[in-house]
Structure 1
């Protein structure tokens, strides 16, 4: 999916390390690749997508943690509900 400056494929472990170093330098916290999925979900919700669309986009066809969410919520409400389950 990603290539290095030399054009070689970047392994999962290399990507994880690069993301961790970059996020620490820019944000002051270490992000992991899975956090990008969450960021994508937040972006979808904030852009007006309903939770079903978000589930399909992120390959969560049927997930119990998402069952009680409704498409009218904004990301803050959706994520709050998600993490309280």
Structure 2
């Protein structure tokens, strides 16, 4: 998997990310095969959290953010209110 091909993929935090420059580990499925990457996020994220890859640092290191970024219910609330 190329570094550019990682951006935009959704994965799962495997080992908790401690936030800042303290990495955790994220599992991404690529063609049905699990790949593990050191992952960094601005805030701590517990194991099991779904994340979006926003940057590849190379050498199996990525930056992530929680996914979905919009809390569930926010989208439907706006639709119901006609926004």
Please state which band the TM-score falls in when normalised by the shorter chain: under 0.3
The structure, 1 or 2, with the larger RCO (C-alpha pairs under 8 Å, 6+ apart) is: 2
TM-score between the two structures when normalised by the length of structure 1: 0.24
Per the normalisation by structure 2, the TM-score is: 0.24
Q: Indicate the structure (1 or 2) with the bigger Cα radius of gyration.
A: 1
> If each structure's helix is expressed as a fraction of its own residues, which one has the higher value?
1
**Comparing both structures, which one devotes a greater share of its residues to strand?**
2
